[in-house]
Amino acid sequence: MEHERIERQRKALKGRLAEEIRETLEGTEPGGEGSPKGMGYFYDVFRRWDEPAGLADGKPVIATSCMQVPLELILACDAVPLRLCNGSHALEQAGSAFLPVKACANVKATLGMISVFQERLQDRLALVVVPTTCDQKRKAIEAVAEGAFTVYPLAVPSSKDTEEAEVYWRTSVKKLALTLEKVTGKRITRKRLAAAVDHVRQASAQFRKLSRMQQHAPPLLTGKDMFLVMNAFLCDDVQRWTAAVARLNEELDDRKQRGRFAGEKAPRILLTGSPPLAPGLKVPLMLEAAGGVIVADEVCSCSRLLHDTVVSGEPRLYDLIPAIADRYLKPCTCPIFDSGEDRRRKLIESVHRLDVDGLVYQSYSGCLPYQMEQRQVAHALREADIPVLFVETDYSPEDRGQLTTRFEAFVESIRSRKRRR
């Protein structure tokens, strides 16, 4: 009976996921000449979003609940990283059975992913790594995974500027490396780790190049395409992904020569706050449909994911692991850290450097840290005379009407402000 029930639920969910993927693609994949040909690979990966190619290889799978898990270590063990955080409304609803009503949509969807794919992942999932970043994720995973999977809490300090925090985090990453070796049965050798670092570094280099295409005035790539590219990261082999981004960059370079831009004259927007995640991407899609173009972001699912690289001199094992740890802690501007000062500084600096017209700050209902930082961010931006729009939303489609009004009004107000200047 139980098996039958789960099977039925799984089937219904698969249909709803396919629908969500189709809807997002409908908003991103334009017909005819519009989008670059190089986006084709990402549309295809996105189409199979619920069946990532990496899972087909038979390698051990390491699931992660947050981008704070050092990816290089997983790759060095020849394991497949699986992102549990997602933007699916169907998975959010599946996960809400385990959590209080007011919990964050992202956390609910993360739980939904674990519970729904439990059966499929049972034999393959070597470990679920849960960084102790936000309280909700930290507490929530236990509710479902306990008993079914091995959950590994990756201790993240709540401050990042002190020497103690650095030592704490480096130790934590070292321990994770040892655990990964144990569960995958693969030694992390100097050679393997250096290769993994190199692969991620190449991915990062291509990402940075692509960001410059998006930041170009006028932009060569829309924000929604950028989010699609970044959400495809880790859905396929890292090197295949990197090669596809490299091809896209070449094509965009060519388009630049021919003067083919995306979003000419549209107000330039910087998106920050809670991360837009596949397959939903509600806010980026609606914001660009309202006439803005996202030229940059400050979110963990996109720019924070690959912007920074591991900095190390000699690739010795004992230097590499702390260097990897540093890449994840110091540049991270997650609001769970005690101070949001560097985030505010980064936002204002980006607005000026990239000639941004306005900033959109989204926070998921239930994500208290982002909501708490709103006030200070608003104050800092108003002082700098930068228009800012706050939206609180989740994965459900019910507030689309209100969001459209807000985005259109924001875009209109920027346009009229520019006209008057």
Partner 1 sequence: MKRFCGIDIGSSAVKVVLMDETGELVASSITPSGNQFYQSAADALTRLLEANGIPREEVSRTVSTGYGRKLFKQADESISEITANALGAKSLGTNGGIPVKTIINIGGQDSKVILLDDDGGVKDFGMNDKCAAGTGRFLEMTALNMGVTLAELGRWHGDSGKPPVTINSTCTVFAASEIVSLLADGHEKGEIIAGVHCAIARRVAHLAERTGVADRVLFDGGGALNRGLKSALEDELMREVVVPEIPQITTAMGAALYAREGF
**How, if at all, do strands 268-273 and 293-298 pair?**
parallel
Nearest in space to 395 (alpha carbons), one of 39, 120, 113, 77 = 113
- Least distance to partner 1, CB of residue 408, Å: 4
- Least distance to partner 1, CB of residue 416, Å: 5
DSSP per-residue letters across 312-375: -SS--HHHHHHHHHHHHHTT---TTSS--HHHHHHHHHHHHHTT--EEEEEEETT-HHHHHHHH
Q: Which is nearer to partner 1, 80 or 356 (CB)?
A: 356
Structure tokens given for 362: 């989204």
Q: Which is nearer to partner 1, 142 or 399 (CB)?
A: 399
What are the CA-CA distances from residue 418 to residues 206, 218, 268, 385 (Å)?
Answer: 33, 16, 12, 13
Q: Which is nearer to partner 1, 120 or 418 (CB)?
A: 418
Q: Which is nearer to partner 1, 45 or 403 (CB)?
A: 403
Q: Which is nearer to partner 1, 56 or 409 (CB)?
A: 409
- Give contact residues for partner 1 (rule: CB under 8 A): 378, 387, 390, 392-393, 398-399, 401-402, 405-406, 408-409, 412-413, 416-417, 420
Q: Which is nearer to partner 1, 234 or 266 (CB)?
A: 266
Instruction: Answer whether the bond into residue 219 is a cis peptide, omega within 30°.
Output: no
- Least distance to partner 1, CB of residue 276, Å: 18
DSSP per-residue letters across 249-289: HHHHHHHHHHT--SSTTSPEEEEEESPP-TTT-HHHHHHHH
- C-beta separation of 142 from 150 below 8 A: no
- Least distance to partner 1, CB of residue 406, Å: 6
Return phi, psi of residue 88, to 5°.
-90, 130
